[in-house]
Amino acid sequence: MKKLIALFSAFLILSGCAGIMGGGNPKIKSLEATSTNITAQFFLALGESVVAYESALLAVGNKTEAERIKSEAGNLREDDDKDKLESSIGMLNEVDLSKELEQAGELSAEGKAQIGAAILHLGIAIFYDGIVATEVPAVVTDAKDIQQNLSAADAMQAGSIANIITNASWIANIAPDQLALLKTNFSTLKAYANAHGIPVPSQEEIEKEASSLKRE
């Protein structure tokens, strides 16, 4: 329930849905729903990447960096300040697990379990960020089309549609690069796990866990 509240807070902040729900135009209603869903998925991916990086850094003994990431990026889904969001996302994008793993000594059983958990959560982040990166450009395109052809009956929705365009464009500028970096760290973790006999969750397990989060 706490996760749902956090996600709902986030998409109210970024999707602008608070001011547009209940409109009569089916195209606008569909746009609202899609925008809200994509924003929730974007923040879910961010949250999972935070958990993944924290787990991986704890596994290799870098508690200081793990705590910094958790402290500065752990509540991104509830943050309405885009400057802080961009700063925190930039910090996450600078995480280089290959360097951390190169410097790691022999991992304990707990450390190995944390690597497995990191792979799972990073896989979930990739699952959702992949959806976002694929679908958000269409939200921008559709919203601009609706904006350009807005009827007098829907004129009151103009501000909300403009807000969707702004926020979807913001996500569209972030998601692709973020996805590429997530995939790089994911491959690094999997290679390390395979080389050290650490069980790696399958893609089916990752997708099953990712899908279960939708229903929580």
Please report whether residue 64 resides in a domain: yes
The whole-number pLDDT of residue 168 equals 94
Total-model pTM: 0.84
Domain count, the chain: 1
Please report whether residue 20 resides in a domain: no
The whole-number pLDDT of residue 7 equals 44
Please report whether residue 24 resides in a domain: no
The whole-number pLDDT of residue 159 equals 79
Please report whether residue 40 resides in a domain: yes
The whole-number pLDDT of residue 79 equals 54
Please report whether residue 22 resides in a domain: no
Domain span including residue 210: 2-10+32-214
The whole-number pLDDT of residue 106 equals 86
The span from the CA of 152 to the CA of 13, in Å, is: 27
DSSP calls for 119-141: HHHHHHHHHHHHHHHHHHHHHHH
Please report whether residue 143 resides in a domain: yes
The whole-number pLDDT of residue 26 equals 82
Please report whether residue 69 resides in a domain: yes
| Amino acid identity, position 106 | E
Is the distance from CB of 170 to CB of 55 less than 8 angstroms? no
Per-residue pLDDT of the chain (216 residues; tens, 9 = 90+): 344 334 434 544 454 443 444 457 888 889 999 999 999 999 999 999 999 999 999 999 999 999 999 988 877 764 567 888 888 888 998 998 998 998 888 899 999 999 999 999 999 999 999 999 999 999 999 999 988 888 887 778 887 899 899 999 999 999 999 999 999 999 999 999 999 999 999 999 999 999 998 755
Question: Exposed/middle/buried for 216, CB within 10 Å: 0-12, 13-18, 19+?
Answer: exposed
Please report whether residue 21 resides in a domain: no
